[in-house]
Structures are given as structure tokens and as C-alpha cells.
Amino acid sequence: MTGALIDLSFAAFSLVAIVAGVRVFRTDSMVRAAFYLLASFAATGGIMVLLGAEFLGMVLILMMAGEMLVMAIVMVMYMMNPAGLNPMVMVHQPRTAVVAGVIAFLAIAGVGLSGEVPSRPAPDPAAATAELGRELLGNSMLVFQTAGVTLLATMVGAIAIAAPRGRHGDAAEGSEEPGLQPDEEASA
């Protein structure tokens, strides 16, 4: 691809990533929020592909498709508004949050812009995927295996926490409607 085309694609992807990212928290439906999050992630994956990390970008997009659907299913299971087409506002401390977000952005962007970024571009982005494969099963095999074992431990732990029968009793205990009063337990 030529330089101008890359710049144009980068501008488009960045715009989608940021606008969709903001829309995640400014929309009135959780399912829409999940779709916006997916759009933001897909655009970020696109930027990664532009940067030469083809495999990482595509895997990010692949991973997020599944994750968005899991979010949708969790919403059906637990949230009070499963289909998510009815508007709702569920926000607390919005001003503090905005200030914190802006400060985080300014601080990180400031560090990024004020620091001296060394210019050592990747020699051959086309070989990145093959290099990653050799690295995974070569020098970094221990790291890779550790990541695998971590994921296995996570699976075991997640199932232990979420299993229907366990130290928190039967699943049926929680299968009733949530109380309408937020402070039901406090008064009980």
C-alpha cells in the first residue's frame, strides 16, 4: 500500500476506534454498547494490521467477536433489561469519571509526545507472522507455556467460582428475580 492510502486508512480506523469507544458509554442500551465496543476493537485491530502486526490484529478481531457474544449472553442472564432496546441510564459519579478520563488521556499522550521515541522501524513487516511463530516455540516457549497454564488455571478458577454447586450453595438460590429495592439487604 502507498503512504497516502495508509494514512487515510489510519485516520479512518482511529476515528472509528475513538468515536465508537465514546459511544460505548454514551448509548442507552447495553447491546448497542457491546456492538460499539466491537467496532472500536475491530478498528484497533485494523490499525495493528497497518502497523505490520497482521497476526495480532486479526487475532484481536477474532477474539472480540466471541467476547461480544458472551457479553450479550451474560446480559440475558443477569441484567434487568436483557434485550437491551429499552433506554436506560446507569451511571454514577459522571463528573469525576470524565475528569479522571481526561487526565489519564492528557498524561499518557503528554508522555508519548514529549518523550523521544527512537526511530527503529521493523525491517520487514511481512515476516512478522513467521517470526512470531518461531519466537513462540523458540526463545519464548516458557512464556508461552506460562500463558497457557495461566489460562488453564483461569478456566478452573472461573468454573469453580461460577459452578452451580459449590461453597455458595445451589444455583437455584440465586435464580429468583433481583429485589426491586436497591437497599433491600441493608434493611433486612
Partner 1 sequence: MTTEAVLVVGAALFGIGVFGALSQQSFVMLMMGIELMINGSLLVLVAMWARAAGGSPDGQMLAIVFMTVMAVEMSLGFALITGVYRVRRADITEKLRKLKG
Partner 2 sequence: MSPLLEVIAAAAAVAGLLAVGALALAIGDGVAGAVVAGRPIRVLPLLTAPVARAMLAARTGSTTTERPDGAGRAVAPALLAGLAALAMVLLPLGPGVALADPDTGFVVYSAAVAFVMIAVFLHGWSPNSTLPLHGAYRFGAVALSFQIPFLLAMLATALPAQSLSIVRIVEAQAGLWNVVREPLGLPIYLVVGLAVGFWGPLNLPDGDDLAGGTSAEDAGWARWLWQVARLSMLVAVAALGAAAFLGGYFGPILPGPLWVALKTGLLLAVMAGAQHLLARVRIERFVGVAWVLLVPLALLNVFVSGAFLL
To partner 1, the closest distance from the beta carbon of 124 in angstroms equals 7
136 forms part of the interface with partner 2 (CB under 8 A): no
Binding to partner 2 by CB under 8 A, coded x per residue (else -) over 74-93, reads --x------xxx--------
Instruction: Please answer whether residues 40 and 21 qualify as being in contact, where contact means their C-beta atoms are separated by less than 8 angstroms.
Output: yes
The gap from C-alpha 169 to its chain's centroid, in whole angstroms, comes to 31
CA-based end-to-end distance of the chain: 66
CB of 3 to partner 1, least distance (A): 8
CB under 5 to 8 A by kind: which of partner 2, partner 1, none does 118 bind? partner 1
Q: Residue 70: what residue type?
A: V
The answer to whether 40 and 17 have CB atoms below 8 angstroms apart is: yes
Half-sphere exposure of 24 (CA within 13 A, CB side): 15
Among 65, 83, 98, 137, binds partner 1 (CB under 8 A): 98
Comparing CB distances to partner 2, the nearer of 13 and 84 is 84
132 binds partner 1 (CB under 8 A): yes
